Structure 1
Amino acid sequence: MSRRCELTGKSVLSGHNVSHSNIKTKRRFLPNLNTVTLESESLGRSFRFRVAASALRTVDHRGGLDAFLRKSRDEVLSPKALKVKRDIEAAAATA
Structure 2
Amino acid sequence: MARRCELTGKGVMTGNTVSHANNRARRRFLPNLVNVSLLSEALGRRVRLRISTSALRTVEHRGGIDKFLMKAKDVELSDRARAIKKELAGAQQA
The answer for the alignment partner of 1:13 in structure 2 is 13
Q: Could you tell me how far 1:66 is from its partner in structure 2? A: 0.2
Matched to 1:50, the amino acid is: R
Instruction: Please give the TM-score of this superposition, normalised by the length of structure 2.
Output: 0.98
Count of aligned positions: 94
Q: How does 1:15-54 map to 2 (within 5 A)?
A: 15-54=15-54
Instruction: Please give the TM-score of this superposition, normalised by the length of structure 1.
Output: 0.97
The answer for the alignment partner of 1:68 in structure 2 is 68
Q: Which runs of 5+ in 2 are unaligned?
A: none
- Distance in 2 between residues matched to 1:13 and 1:24, nearest whole Å: 16
- The SS at the match of 1:90 is helix
RMSD after superposition = 0.6
The answer for the alignment partner of 2:87 in structure 1 is 87
Q: Which runs of 5+ in 1 are unaligned?
A: none
Matched to 1:51, the amino acid is: I
- Distance in 1 between residues matched to 2:38 and 2:85, nearest whole Å: 13
Q: Could you tell me how far 1:47 is from its partner in structure 2? A: 1.1
- Distance in 2 between residues matched to 1:48 and 1:93, nearest whole Å: 23
